[in-house]
A and B are shown apart, each in its own frame.
Chain A
Amino acid sequence: MSPVGTIARFALRESLRRRVFTVVFILTVAFLGLYGLGVWQAFEATDEFAFETGPVEPEVVAGATLLGLACFGTLFLGAILAVFLTLGAVRGDAERGLLQPVLVRDVSRWSYLLARWAAAASVCALYVIVVFLAATVITWVAGGWWPDRVVQPALGLALGVALLAALSLAGSVVLSSAANGIAVFMAFGAGLTAGLLGQIGEALGSGTLDTVADVASWALPFEALYQSGLSALTADTIGFTRFAIDLGPFGGAEPGGALLWPWALVYLAAVGAAARWAFGRRDL
């Protein structure tokens, strides 16, 4: 097996042995249980006033809003997982003396970074895909609503958390574990806030807020991928129902456009190149 595969497997085994996955599994089941209860209650309430909604399809509005909320929760949980699996991967491990015995072997620093990213990104990507699909199925079972697109939001969330894992890993080259964790979560929060500002700007017709959101989306593409996924949930919905969804908390999401995915991949490569350059110059 290549050094990348060996180190990635060892990192995954560490997470397994430290019961990281057990804790994540239990909390995720709790999250999905709570979500299921909420969805069931929401659709029950929707049925009660369905006759008053006229041309608006209430189960579509409720389903899209609830699944949008699930997208947000899934991204948040995936981000926590991505950050905690990588925040001390370089400087933290070097300060504890864990890194040096590995790098003395015929393992390039780039291989080490790649291995740690591959391990964290694959776990987080799989995690958000499974949780998103589970939430989608729960929404369908409880309310009979299925989103217009499923694959695109799932893959968008997956690439989003892979980007967050890359940012956190790159941060771990120069920052201590605590500083890195804080920095990545603040960037994550800033991205989501900018996205919400953009949605408010869309509703209010504010060009400035739209610009802020656009810049933030390009600077932090995980936010744009999340927005694009949200938008895809109701990509084919039109008319009064569309209007009602747009007024909701997850309704003003931007689709992102054709350049979003290529840009996210370029961004990922750039973060990797920056991390490689910084790690190559670091004395251990």
Chain B
Amino acid sequence: MAPVLAASGLTKRYGRTLALRGVDLHLEAGELVGLLGPNGAGKSTLTKIACGLVRHDGGTIEVARPLGYLAELFRFPDWCTAEELLTLHQELTRSAGGAAERAELLELVGLADATRVRVGAMSKGMQQRLGIAQALVGGPRVLLLDEPTSALDPAGRRTVRALLEELRRREVAVLLNSHLLSEVELVCDRVVIVARGEVVAAGTPAELEQPSGVEVETAGGVRVIPNAGRQDVPAIVRDLVAAGEEVYGVQVRRSTLEDAYLEAVGAA
């Protein structure tokens, strides 16, 4: 299957600062990819290049259309209502969804009762949810979300997670740019970690979370055998039993996504 977003060797320079240094990235239909990295790593630049808002200096990028985008720092005209904003974007995307599409999108983001509420009268969280609804107008094949849950409370974040699961079911590819590692770990199929303008790690959350020893609970307490993995467990248990120990529990320890992230970013 052809990727819906394919970037190869992307470079971008702002004056003397090299923001991207040959980034490769691809997304398949229905894939949810988390884009992680410290501030200034180049994540937003990469997302904006994918949207066509920023020109790249080198490399190639192809993105399937239609696409949806929610910027980290976005704003909608405060005088218009949720209904009017979505209508504008329907016209710009030539969506034939009409009132049914608008109602469905507002329902999806939990704003079904806010159809006639002006943007200026909405809380930041409501505006962010409206922003997600706006990005979904016209049934995008690719959705680029830059910190989409930064202003949301835990309930709002859960709504967005459920929405992302629904989008995966609908074969929409999502690039999720977020600082919230736990959120990325929960929903993303793959994670790409960017630091100083280059990809420093990539893979599924499971691939990035490496084994970090085996924890054994015996009568003498809990002991950790470092550098051991799942394959070492039978031998460890056998040796302990042979030595007269009573084993109550064994657990293979894995590093978290946060550990993998910090290691990748620190090594950049």
Contact = CB atoms under 8 A, between A and B. Distances in A.
B259 to A, nearest CB: 34
Interface in A106-160: 106-107
Contacts of B74: 97, 100-101
Interface in B65-81: 65-71, 73-77, 79-80
A284 B75 CA distance: 14
Nearest to B75: A97
Interface string B37-63: 000000000001001111100000000
A105 B88 CA distance: 11
Q: Which of A96, A105, A281 has the most CB of B within 10 A?
A: A105
Nearest to B89: A105
B92 A105 contact: yes
Interface residues of B, number: 29
A14 B92 contact: no
B76 A101 contact: yes
Given A17-B79, A96-B75, A284-B48, A102 B53 contact: no
A137 B92 CA distance: 43
A3 interface: yes
Interface residues of A, number: 23
Interface in B119-164: 131, 134
B92 A100 contact: no
Given A6-B88, A6-B91, A6-B92, A104 B77 contact: no
A10 B88 contact: yes
Contacts of B89: 101, 105
A97 B73 contact: yes
A174 B14 CA distance: 16
Contacts of A283: 14, 48, 53-55
Interface in A170-207: none
B204 interface: no
A279 B249 CA distance: 65
Contacts of B65: 106
B161 to A, nearest CB: 23
A266 interface: no
A104 B53 contact: yes
Interface in A81-108: 96-98, 100-107
B93 interface: yes
B52 A14 contact: no
A7 B92 CA distance: 8
Contacts of B134: 101
A7 B71 CA distance: 20
A107 B88 CA distance: 12
A281 B52 CA distance: 11
Interface string A1-24: 101001100100110011000000
Contacts of A101: 69-71, 74, 76, 89, 131, 134
A238 B165 CA distance: 82
B55 A100 contact: no
Contacts of B94: 106
Contacts of B70: 101
Nearest to B12: A283
Contacts of B14: 283
Contacts of A104: 51-53, 67-69
A110 B54 CA distance: 16
A105 to B, nearest CB: 4
Contact of A14 (B66, B69, B79, B131): B79
Given A17-B79, A97-B75, A106 B93 contact: yes
A94 to B, nearest CB: 9
A96 B95 CA distance: 26
Contacts of B68: 104
B79 A18 contact: yes
Nearest to A284: B53
Contacts of B92: 3, 6-7, 102, 105-107
Nearest to A107: B92
18 contacts: A1-B91, A6-B91, A10-B88, A14-B77, A17-B79, A17-B80, A18-B79, A97-B71, A97-B73, A100-B69, A101-B89, A105-B89, A106-B92, A107-B92, A281-B55, A283-B14, A283-B54, A283-B55
Interface of B: 14, 48, 51-55, 65-71, 73-77, 79-80, 88-89, 91-94, 131, 134
The 10 closest A-B pairs by CB, nearest first: A105-B92, A97-B75, A284-B53, A104-B69, A283-B54, A6-B91, A17-B79, A97-B74, A104-B51, A97-B73
Interface of A: 1, 3, 6-7, 10, 13-14, 17-18, 96-98, 100-107, 281, 283-284
Given A104-B67, A106-B92, A283-B53, 14 more contacts: A3-B91, A6-B88, A7-B92, A14-B79, A18-B79, A97-B73, A101-B74, A101-B89, A102-B92, A105-B89, A106-B65, A106-B66, A281-B55, A284-B54
